[in-house]
Amino acid sequence: MTEFEPKIVGFLCNWCAYAGADLAGVSRIQYPPNIRIVRVMCSGRVDPVFILEAFRSGADGVLVAGCHLPSDCHYISGNFKAHRRIMMLKKLLLQFGIEPERLRIEWVSASEGDKFATVIKDMTEEIKKLGPSPLKVQVEGLIYG
Amino acid sequence: MKDKVGAVLVVGGGIAGIQASLDLADSGFKVYLLDESPTIGGTMTQLDKTFPTNDCAMCILAPKLVTAGRHPNIELVMGGEIRSVEGEEGNFKVKLIRRPRRVNEEKCTGCGVCAQKCPVEAIDEFNQGLSERCAIYVKYPQAVPLVFAIDRDKCIGCGTCQEVCKAGAIEYDEEEKEIVLNVGSIVLAPGFEEFDPSLKSEYGYGRYPNVISSIEFERILSASGPYGGMVLRPSDGEVPRRVAFIQCVGSRDAKLGNNYCSFACCMYAIKESIIAKEHNPDLQCTIFFMDMRAFGKEFDAYYSRAEEEYGVRFVRSRVSRVEEVPESQNLIVRHVVEEEPKDEEFDLVVLSVGMRPPKGVEGLAKAFGIKLNKYNFCSTETFSPLETSRPGIYVCGTFAAPKDIPESVAQASGAAAKAASIIATERGKLTVIKELPSEIDVSGEEPRIGAFICHCGINIGGVVNVPEIVEYVKTLPNVVYAEENLYTCSQDTQKRIREKIKEHNLNRVVVASCTPRTHEPLFRETIREAGLNIYLFEMSNIRDQCSWVHMHEHEKATEKAKDLVRSIVAKARLLKPLKKPMINVVPVGLVIGGGLSGMTAALELAKQGFDVHLVEKEKELGGNLRHIHYVLGSEDPQERLSSIVKEVSENEKIHVYLGAEIANIEGYVGNFKTTLNHNGEKKEIDHGIVIVATGAIEYKPTEYLYKEDERVLTQRELEERLAKGEFNAKTVAMIQCVGSRNEERPNCSRICCVQAVKNALKIKELSSETDVYVFYKDVRTYGLNEDYYREAASRGILFIRYDDENKPRVSRENGPLKVLAMEPVLKTWLPIEPDLLVLSAATIPNPDNQRISEMLKVPLTKDGFFLEAHMKLRPIDFATEGVFLCGLAHSPKLIEESISQACGAAARAITILSKKALEVEGAIASVNEDLCSGCRICEALCEYGAIKMEGKDGKLVSTVLEALCKGCGVCGSSCPTGAISMLHFTDDEILAQVRAALREKKHD
Amino acid sequence: MTFEPRIVGFLCNWCSYAGADLAGVSRISYPTNIRIIRLMCSGRVEPVIVLETLAQGADGVLVMGCHIGDCHYISGNLYAERKINVLKKLLARTSLEVGRLRLEWVSASEGGRFAELVKDFVEQIKALGPSPLAGDKPDKNILAGVLAAKAAAEDFRLRLLVGREKTMIDDGNVYGEKVSEEELDKILNEVIDTEFVRNRIYLLVKEKPLSVKELSERLDLDSKTVLRHVVVMRRRGLITVDRVEGTSPLYTALEVGR
């Protein structure tokens, strides 16, 4: 059997985290190829619905990454809003039977290419340990089973 | 006289030069932005974080760099060196040479393969020599323009880069070019040079590897710096446990001839120690200083936080020597505490180096024909801080005197106003307006997507199987065309994309290549030239976020690239053309406050041809300046005041309302409507922008017998007496920080130290035998004002320090005033019986600020001053578009700083007023009124005041003010009924992207 | 027992190999210590192979080609000369004697000269004694040095410079400037130094994580210089910080990109 390769969806804000991911590239810092990045203008744009839909569609993990607290946010305070929302959503995930560790919020600045890569490495490792998302197993059962 | 020219030359591509260029280019002038180096960005690009908010410097700077780099009215002249400047204000001929870069700017795509193959290693100046770069290089990864350059001194001419460059950009034989520019005015912003700390040989810089400069430490702290953001010491790569910062290295140093204070070092040392402690909480940071000059907005609060929360140790002492312990390469810092020499051991010593005039300043001054002051900074006057000695040439940033980023930015905008006003008649004459075909109507059409997959030389193609991606993309629904390109961004591919759009009738375009952050504007422009709406474009990042980070996993990287492209195609399928709404602009300004700042701003607006309403609540113009009778230097403020008032009153474009009050402000950028109460009548004004210049007031002390004893005065009252010739005293005592830097108002009032020195010197001038005592906490005569502090000390004025535990005690037992002050050296209470006790009272915010901030929906600081959009890079703007800020309303500041900021506010305002209509971003929030429940959550969340609640058909609904919305999407993701959608980032689009990224099989 | 050196000879097909044959045809005897490997041209002599040969415990390596001007492939021997030059520079940085490597020109008609040279080289190696890398217990330190030299010889930058050395001296660089031998030699020395040290660092931290201080002791090099190399290697993704022990970050090798 092939090793479990988690699929992770990353919602990255345009100004800091996405730029940080770009810098990881420019600096050729290698990290596991498990993340699929979706660019949003602000981490505050990430609707809980997006995250739930990602899990429903088979994501094993979801990363939301934005500008550092307190004041790096390009839109002043979008990151605070994202933070509050994710913390609440983590609780909600438990009710769906999804381990809250599958959802992460991280702050990555435009000069932290290294940090971005580390976050992806860590997260990929952690989710590998958790195994495939319980929701994905259910959903795939429904669709293909 | 010769014809005027509507172009400006800006010399220096640091943050000041960039700001001046953007303001000028945005108000209708052609700008040549020249820098000696191959990239713009200046010193700020080397900083890790910025105080007092600890923002990442690159995060806040990069968007400005990109904007300047792509601005149609800004032409970057890199590697330029000025030879001569002929002509006069309005029409200069500037001769310059352009040093060869040896890489063609048009062809280089910045992919970086050349640098990976270059066999030569050279010292990396960007990292202060702490790491290496190649002989072909970019200064830093986010460089603008992102074009490599060959370092001819290091290049051995092996020819490798030319062979590996698939874009054919290398031109070894490029030669120096002579260029002549014809411009109407010139802005000088060449910046500064760091003081070379090896000149202070007693500190051992250059001899001891663990003695480093503050800018080196800045690079060490940076995540993209030499040590990857780990704090290590250069001798052996160990993590230091004890770090010492030594202040005033190359500043406040008479021996070196650098008497001035370098303005920013106290704060950056605090910042560096805070950041270092965040990296490594066990680190012990000690700052050796003379006076802690935390005089800026919110700086003292930052200073206390460093001490109390982070445990940074502050030692008030000048360090005499640093010696190395040979075995450990640790350092012994010798200093004096309470007259006793003390030695302390540290692992690392950071020297807080001061600012010097830029390299080659004499040549620069000669070429431009301008005067320098005794320190070789550009010579300016208090009331004309932006003008050089040659008409038509203006100055900003650290070339005028050492300063911090916000002061540089404000001054840059100010210089832009000055540079524009002499050529205001030429506005719009040299700027380019591109002729574009009308947009093709694609509504109702099935999506026809064209995909262009980039090899990026070998950057993508060397890892990801690009032909496989192309074949794969062709199988995706709605993709009607796909091809691969060596470089999708090259000029010839742009032509190709346009042809393919026509040939295949494409109505959506997807490019899979590098990052949209730098390249989306280019491709949007391309499809627009082919008649497609710019929002019908999407980009997939398969280089920076795929091939470059999975270089050794070719198969997995190819799979990932497929997922990324499939997911962006899924989004592209749903893209809709968006209109960029146009908003008409009423070309009229409103300035609130008729003090020096308000009048200056109004005059600048009027000089550039705009009508201004100037509203002052008092019965006369002048504000605080009415009470200022002297400045340091030779100018007479009262004479200046009357000439400014005369100029304002006589200017037909300025409409002054005295004794008037703002009753109401409505509207938004371009279209404000304000109601005034003036002479018992209501008056309505339509205007496009607002400048807030409400000033500040002097604190009326409750301490030290003020009001109880007529011998106790404030500095302002003393100044009045001195001016009226009513001064008569044998002994004068001054107490600093009355009402500032205390529990209630933790921050410094910035101007009182300078004011006290000024008045003390005046006393000595009028009555040389009078004894003057100044009781202070820190003497904060920052910048070039330090000279006057020195002069005061040499004239026998006694400066005696006190601290919060031992404040001076004032009493009047049997008639005479008695001041008891702790003498810090002798540790005894020193009794003085002054004839006059002068209190340096705080500058406190105008009590009207609260009301005005509510009307304008802009924030105030905890202290009650107005809070700008960003403390570093947007010191004059509010987050709300079209509202600007200057003078004491922002925070206490000196006359020259108020004038610079006021001119700057005018320049910022003119970027709006000079346009007939404002084009607004299309990717913004949009409300479905049927779904809106009127809950007002969105209104509360929006930082920009872009949501307004309106009654419609009997119910309250949310409305987006298009001009104000920035498109972050916070409202949309919080709307409980889903009534708000974010155009171009709609829920459907993002969800489609998510689903497609995860699953190949379509099930919905 | 007397020491009988094991010598590997790399001989070009057209001159030296023919010369060796002629020695045979002419029944000129010479010591039995040489094992000949035929190459088409001395220019084929690959520094990596020579270093591997030495690492395997050969007591000496003798490279032979056509006399200057005689090369069957016009200038292959000139390139061989450059490569041996670099090899000697690399060897000089290890503790293995440079004298274990020798380059000579032998024509097809010089059977006698061939035999003389072999004799001479065998004497030379006998005087040096057995290679510290021969036998069951090779000297670890020296082996590490030779392996680092080998890795350095694989380095792109170094190979590129060696490859262009001749053109740049003879025809000038891309700016049309003739580069002097001394100048190029200086550059080459710098690159060799750098690559050699970096490869030693890499091999050391591949065994176990080490700090800059430990590296500096092992390499007998000041720690400031070691740190500079570590900085570059970290940036290039060759090594990374494994952990921080006390005040010392320990570095470890990454497997990628080599």
**CB under 8 Å to A108, separation ≥6 — which residues?**
A12, A16, A17, A20, A21, A65, A66, A68, A115, A116, A119
- Count up the domains in chain C and report the number: 2
Question: Cα(A88)–Cα(B382) distance, rounded to whole angstroms?
Answer: 55
Closest CA to B377 of B784, B878, B711: B784
Which chains form contacts with chain A, at 3 or more CB pairs under 8 Å?
B, C
Q: At what angle do helices C111-128 and C16-25 cross, to 10 degrees?
A: 100
Q: What integer pLDDT is reported at residue C133 of this predicted model?
A: 94
Contact across the interface for A30 and C235, Cβ inside 8 Å:
no
Pairing of strands B798-801, B771-776: parallel
- Strand, helix or coil at B367? helix
Contact predicate C172/C178, CB 8 Å: yes
Query: Which of A76 and C144 is assigned the larger pLDDT?
Result: C144
Indicate if C56 and C169 belong to the same structural domain: no
Contact predicate A17/A116, CB 8 Å: yes
CB atoms inside a 10 Å sphere around CB B702: 10
Contact across the interface for C211 and B235, Cβ inside 8 Å:
no
CB atoms inside a 10 Å sphere around CB C84: 20
Residue type, B674: T
Question: Cα(B975)–Cα(C168) distance, rounded to whole angstroms?
Answer: 69
Question: Cα(B397)–Cα(B189) distance, rounded to whole angstroms?
Answer: 6
Indicate if C81 and C21 belong to the same structural domain: yes
> Does C237 contact A at CB distance below 8 Å?
yes
Q: Over pLDDT 70: what percentage of chain B?
A: 99
Contact predicate B519/B539, CB 8 Å: yes
Q: What integer pLDDT is reported at residue B457 of this predicted model?
A: 84
Indicate if C122 and C159 belong to the same structural domain: no
Contact across the interface for A68 and B56, Cβ inside 8 Å:
yes
Q: CA B636, B641, B646, B647 torsion: positive or negative?
A: positive
Q: What integer pLDDT is reported at residue C1 of this predicted model?
A: 66
Contact across the interface for A110 and B58, Cβ inside 8 Å:
yes
The residue of chain C with its CA nearest to that of A29 is C237
- Which residues in chain C show pLDDT less than 70? 1, 256-258
Q: What integer pLDDT is reported at residue A54 of this predicted model?
A: 94
> Does C235 contact B at CB distance below 8 Å?
yes
The answer for C 176-235 residues in CB contact with A (under 8 A) is 235
Question: Cα(B835)–Cα(B837) distance, rounded to whole angstroms?
Answer: 7
Average per-residue pLDDT for chain A: 88
Question: Cα(B994)–Cα(B343) distance, rounded to whole angstroms?
Answer: 62
Contact predicate B51/B95, CB 8 Å: no
> Does A84 contact B at CB distance below 8 Å?
no
Residue B687 forms beta bridges with which residues? B672
First to last CA, chain B: 73
Instruction: Give the fold, CATH level 3, of A8-141.
Output: Rossmann fold (3.40.50)
Contact predicate B564/B903, CB 8 Å: no
- Strand, helix or coil at B801? strand
pLDDT, tens only, B313-355: 999 999 999 999 999 999 999 999 888 899 999 999 999 999 9
- Strand, helix or coil at B349? strand
Question: Cα(A129)–Cα(B10) distance, rounded to whole angstroms?
Answer: 57
Contact across the interface for B227 and C175, Cβ inside 8 Å:
no
**Tokens standing for B163?**
């062979």
- Strand, helix or coil at B280? coil
Contact across the interface for A28 and C256, Cβ inside 8 Å:
no
Contact across the interface for C168 and B156, Cβ inside 8 Å:
yes
Contact across the interface for A27 and C235, Cβ inside 8 Å:
yes
**Tokens standing for B748?**
């410094």
CB pairs under 8 A between B and C: 91
pLDDT, tens only, B468-483: 999 999 999 999 999 9
Residue type, B613: H
Structural domain containing residue C52: 7-128
Indicate if C173 and C114 belong to the same structural domain: no
All residues of chain B having their beta carbon less than 8 Å from the beta carbon of residue C256 are 551-552
Q: CA B639, B640, B643, B645 torsion: positive or negative?
A: negative
The answer to which of B212-226, B250-264, B933-947, C48-62 has the lowest mean pLDDT is: B933-947
Indicate if C14 and C115 belong to the same structural domain: yes
Place of tokens 């920052």: B782
Q: At what angle do helices C47-55 and C76-93 cross, to 10 degrees?
A: 40
Q: What integer pLDDT is reported at residue B1003 of this predicted model?
A: 38
**CB under 8 Å to C66, separation ≥6 — which residues?**
C12, C14, C15, C16, C42, C72, C76, C77, C105, C107
**CB under 8 Å to B327, separation ≥6 — which residues?**
none
> Does B223 contact C at CB distance below 8 Å?
no
How confident is residue A138, by pLDDT bands cut at 50, 70 and 90?
low
pLDDT, tens only, B807-861: 999 998 778 999 999 988 888 999 999 999 999 999 999 999 999 998 998 889 9
Contact across the interface for A29 and C237, Cβ inside 8 Å:
yes
All residues of chain C having their beta carbon less than 8 Å from the beta carbon of residue B102 are none
Question: Cα(A116)–Cα(B910) distance, rounded to whole angstroms?
Answer: 40
Q: How many residues does chain B have?
A: 1004
Is residue C212, in this structure, part of any structural domain at all?
yes
State the DSSP code for B889. Answer: G
Interface of A with C (CB under 8 A): 27-30
Residue type, C6: R
All residues of chain A having their beta carbon less than 8 Å from the beta carbon of residue B545 are 21-22, 24-25, 37
First to last CA, chain A: 19
Indicate if C119 and C12 belong to the same structural domain: yes
Q: Helix and strand tally (H, E) in chain B?
A: 22, 52
Provide the whole-model pTM: 0.89
CATH number at residue C18: 3.40.50.960
Q: Where are the alpha helices (DSSP H) in B608-636?
A: none
Average per-residue pLDDT for chain B: 94
Indicate if C91 and C173 belong to the same structural domain: no
Closest CA to B264 of B253, B283, B275, B251: B251
For residues B223-235, give the mean pLDDT.
91
Across the interface, of B159, B234, B236, the residue whose CB is closest to C213 is: B236
The residue of chain B with its CA nearest to that of C178 is B157
> Does B310 contact C at CB distance below 8 Å?
no
Q: What integer pLDDT is reported at residue C256 of this predicted model?
A: 58
For residues B210-237, give the mean pLDDT.
94
Question: Cα(B66)–Cα(B518) distance, rounded to whole angstroms?
Answer: 7
Q: What integer pLDDT is reported at residue C34 of this predicted model?
A: 95
The residue of chain A with its CA nearest to that of B969 is A45
All residues of chain B having their beta carbon less than 8 Å from the beta carbon of residue A132 are none
Indicate if C29 and C106 belong to the same structural domain: yes
Question: Cα(A142)–Cα(A133) distance, rounded to whole angstroms?
Answer: 14
Question: Cα(C40)–Cα(C35) distance, rounded to whole angstroms?
Answer: 16
Distance from CA of B56 to the nearest CA of A (A): 7
Distance from CA of C34 to the nearest CA of A (A): 47
pLDDT, tens only, B399-431: 999 999 999 999 999 999 999 999 999 999 999
**Tokens standing for A71?**
């004041």
All residues of chain B having their beta carbon less than 8 Å from the beta carbon of residue C189 are none
Run of H or E residues at B56: strand B55-56
Contact across the interface for A40 and B969, Cβ inside 8 Å:
yes
Alpha-carbon dihedral of residues B623, B627, B630, B635, nearest 10 degrees? Answer: 40
pLDDT, tens only, B164-221: 999 999 999 999 999 999 999 999 999 999 999 999 999 999 999 999 999 999 999 9
**CB under 8 Å to C97, separation ≥6 — which residues?**
C91, C128
Indicate if C27 and C72 belong to the same structural domain: yes
Indicate if C40 and C98 belong to the same structural domain: yes
Is residue C1, in this structure, part of any structural domain at all?
no
CB atoms inside a 10 Å sphere around CB B496: 17
Pairing of strands B818-823, B828-832: antiparallel
Distance from CA of C239 to the nearest CA of A (A): 11
First to last CA, chain C: 43
Q: What integer pLDDT is reported at residue C166 of this predicted model?
A: 82
> Does C256 contact A at CB distance below 8 Å?
yes
Run of H or E residues at A128: helix A113-130
